[in-house]
Amino acid sequence: MKYKIGDWIVYTDKEFSNKWKKDYGFSLYGKIGKIIDIEKYCNLPLPYLLEFKGFINGHSGYRKGRDGHCQWCMDKEITLYKDYFKLKKFIEGEL
């Protein structure tokens, strides 16, 4: 697994975020969350359970997180919080 439980992440998949916003009224893009569970031993395409800081109209992850704040995702949809802001500063010419 690329990430571990307890990692703070930023959601970076614009395409899925736009679909989520259309279906549920909330954009996921740029939202900060924490990995609260990882399904390591099954064939799920979405192994990471994220609990976002804010309400996203999601679910509770089988009561592992706050209702309405959780969503399962793949590693290609997220990046570590610290890496995201480093990259953003680099792109903006601050590093």
Locate the domains of the chain by residue range.
Answer: 8-91
Give the domain 8-91 fold: SH3 type barrels. (2.30.30)
Strands across the sheet containing 32-38: 70-73, 48-52, 32-38, 8-11, 78-80
pLDDT tens for residues 1-26?
789 999 999 999 999 999 999 999 99
In this prediction the pTM is 0.80
Q: What is the C-alpha to C-alpha distance for residues 90 and 75, in angstroms, rounded to an integer?
A: 22
How many CA atoms, within 13 angstroms, populate the side-chain half-sphere of residue 61?
22
Q: Are 8 and 34 in contact (CB under 8 A)?
A: yes
C-alpha distances (whole Å) from 7 to each of 24, 27, 35 are 25, 21, 6
Give the chain's mean pLDDT: 87
